[in-house]
Amino acid sequence: MKYVSILFFVLITSITSAQITFEAKVSKTKLGINERLRIDFEMNKDGDNFNPPDFANFTVVGGPNTSVSQSWLNGKRSYKKTYSYFLAPKKRGQLKINQATIEIEGVVYKTQVVTVNVTAAVKRPNDPDNAEQVASDNIHLVAEVSKANPYLNEAITVVYKLYVSQNTGVSNWREIDNPRYNDFWSQNISIKGLKIQNGSYNGDDNYRYVVLRKTVLYPQKTGKLEIEPLSLDVTVEVPTKRRDFFGGRLMTQVNKRVSAGSRTINVKPLPEQGQPENFTGAVGDFKFNVITSKSELNASESLQARVEVTGKGNLKLFELPKLKLPNSLEVYEPEHNEKVTTNLGGMNGVISDNYTIVPQFKGKYPIPSVSFSYFDLETESYKTVTSGEIVIDVIEGPINTANSDNNIASTNTGKQEVVMNSDQFAFVKTEANLQPIEFSYFFKTTAFWSTLLLPLLAIPLALVYRNRKEKRSADVLGNKVRKADRLARRYLSEAKKSLGKKEAFYIALERALHNYLKAKLLIETSDLSKEKINELLITRQVNNNTILEFNSILEHCELARYTPITNVEMQQDYDKAAKTISIIDKELR
């Protein structure tokens, strides 16, 4: 029975394993190097950890695409899951596709190695029913460049459009190669939602298109510059000869790789003739201003001076002119600001340098005119804009004697002359006053005997201090009295510090009175009732008037928290409490 059970188990396991299949199927075993190959990895049960082969001899132009189908026939369920890849051969010859693996019900399955024969390029027949041919003829990716021969730093735009004919469709696409815009300043313009529009491709109006990407470019070099192509892997839906139950044509999916192709731009240099000396590369249409926040102020006050360029052009790609200011004005490093937006026309907005200026002396300070030059694309010529002179009038402040003539400050940007003082090295002593050091021995000196005998004399003092400390520690009652007395003095001190703060003052004063009684009458906090206090004070022969005064202070501490009290009244209550404590201390027996 043991061997029969083992045989039965092995038989059941083999039958179950035989029911699971995992195969690799190719669309063709012979193809030209310019053709595409489809390979499907099929299984009849769902699995995990699918690992495709490396496809070393092929370029994956599409996939993986996953499809699942299942059906019931005569009570039996059939299931099929497929991973599909579209491959382009890299070379001719007998090329192998290695094994793929997958794990199904804990068992790893492998496909067989597939060999295909790749021949020389073949001429594709113009077969209207060939799905790949139909896809190639009906889908196109185009890069539209706004200008092929711009000037240096002139904005151009590249718009990528995907054209699809009316009788085909696109279900999915992904970018394979993103263009790198070498020698260009570039910025992509965001596209919110893909809008399908009708259009014409090569004169054929039977097309629709969608704009996939918009990019603004500013060339940074002259000569011929290349714009790299954008490539897409597109899943194209192509109609077939088959029709559905209602007579409609069925569609089939084909993976197609499309490319916009590279474009060459011939960039012209800016003309050298008539180029101003202060030209820093600005190209476009601009306005230039120098603006100050105020024209009159006092010395040591600050003002803002803003050098500003507004308009349309390469705003982020040139330098603003610098302000030249008088020496008597303290100037901080300018703060650069940009408010620039980019659209299909290029950059628009404003850039500025903000200077913080602090005059030190009274007078009138001219800010000379500043010039800004740019290349105008409309007239293809250079233009220079000059700001007017601005005079800053410092009304009050110390007078600068170095520029006292007519109180007009100099705009010389050179370094000021340093005036030398004849006494500038007066602090350096030129004659030494040195005295010899007498050498003496420390042994047998007064300091020597003091350091030797003092530790011996300190021993009896330490013993006396230790005995007193032990007696003091053993006096439990006395320690309690001293502790309560210290608390009373501390709370009185806190009350004095809280003068002017009504609630904190009276709380501290009341605590000081209670702690004093605890120290003098040797009572606990639980016994601090009015009757108990009066009884103990009478027993200790305290005068009735003093007892009444003490009770009135306690009652006033409670009422004062809720009634208006002045600082003078708080000082009077503090003095009264201190006086009463002193009287009780004298009268206690």
* Residues 152, 237 within the same domain: yes
Provide the token pair at 281. 């590369």
Q: What's the pLDDT at 286?
A: 96
- % of the chain exceeding 90 in pLDDT: 30
* Residues 158, 204 within the same domain: yes
Q: 367 in a domain, yes or no?
A: yes
Domain containing residue 89: CATH number: 2.60.40.740
Residue type, 346: G
* Residues 297, 364 within the same domain: yes
* Residues 145, 258 within the same domain: yes
* Residues 52, 167 within the same domain: no
Name the pairing type of β-strands 197-201 and 114-119: unpaired
Q: Classify residue 444 by its DSSP letter.
A: T
Last residue of a domain, one of 84, 119, 154: 119
**Residue span of the structural domain in which 400 resides:** 284-407
pLDDT tens for residues 497-532? 777 777 788 888 888 888 877 777 777 665 667 777
Q: 276 in a domain, yes or no?
A: no
Instruction: Please name which of 350, 293, 357, 347 lies closest in space to residue 323, comparing C-alpha atoms.
Output: 357
Q: 88 in a domain, yes or no?
A: yes
pLDDT tens for residues 174-228? 887 778 888 999 999 988 888 889 998 888 888 999 999 999 999 999 999 999 8
* Residues 43, 67 within the same domain: yes
* Residue in this structure with the two tokens 């639980």, named with its chain if needed: 526
* Residues 322, 372 within the same domain: yes
Higher pLDDT, 125 or 78: 78
Q: What's the pLDDT at 202?
A: 86
pLDDT tens for residues 49-67? 899 998 888 988 877 888 8
Last residue of a domain, one of 354, 385, 407: 407
* Residues 254, 185 within the same domain: yes
Domain containing residue 369: CATH number: 2.60.40
* Residues 150, 263 within the same domain: yes
Contact 61, 88 (CB under 8 A): yes
Confidence tier at 370 by pLDDT (50, 70, 90): very high
Last residue of a domain, one of 69, 92, 119: 119
* Residues 115, 149 within the same domain: no
Average pLDDT over residues 307-335: 91
Average pLDDT, the chain: 81
Q: Is residue 16's pLDDT more than 60?
A: no
d(CA 234, CA 65): 12
Q: What's the pLDDT at 412?
A: 46
Q: 298 in a domain, yes or no?
A: yes
Q: 575 in a domain, yes or no?
A: yes
What are phi and psi for residue 575, nearest 5 degrees?
Answer: -65, -40
Q: What's the pLDDT at 558?
A: 74
Q: What's the pLDDT at 219?
A: 95
Domain containing residue 483: CATH number: 1.20.120
Winning range, highest mean pLDDT, from 150-164, 407-421, 563-577:
150-164
Confidence tier at 305 by pLDDT (50, 70, 90): very high
Q: 14 in a domain, yes or no?
A: no
Q: What's the pLDDT at 379?
A: 93
Three-class SS of 192-237? CCCCCEEEEECCEEEEEEEEEEEEEEEECCCEEEEECCCEEEEEEE
Q: 440 in a domain, yes or no?
A: no
441 exposure class (CB count in 10 Å sphere: 0-12, 13-18, 19+): exposed
How distant is the alpha carbon of residue 435 from its chain centre? 68
Q: What's the pLDDT at 76?
A: 75
* Residues 367, 492 within the same domain: no
Buried b (16+ CB within 10 A) or exposed e, 539-574: eeebeeebbebbeebbebbeebeeeebeeeebeebb
Q: 234 in a domain, yes or no?
A: yes
| Other beta carbons within 10 Å of 524 | 7
Instruction: Please name which of 61, 116, 58, 124 lies closest in space to residue 91, comparing C-alpha atoms.
Output: 58
* Residues 570, 503 within the same domain: yes
Average pLDDT over residues 118-123: 78
Average pLDDT over residues 274-288: 94
- % of the chain exceeding 70 in pLDDT: 82
pTM of model > 0.85: no
Question: Could you give the number of structural domains in the chain?
Answer: 4
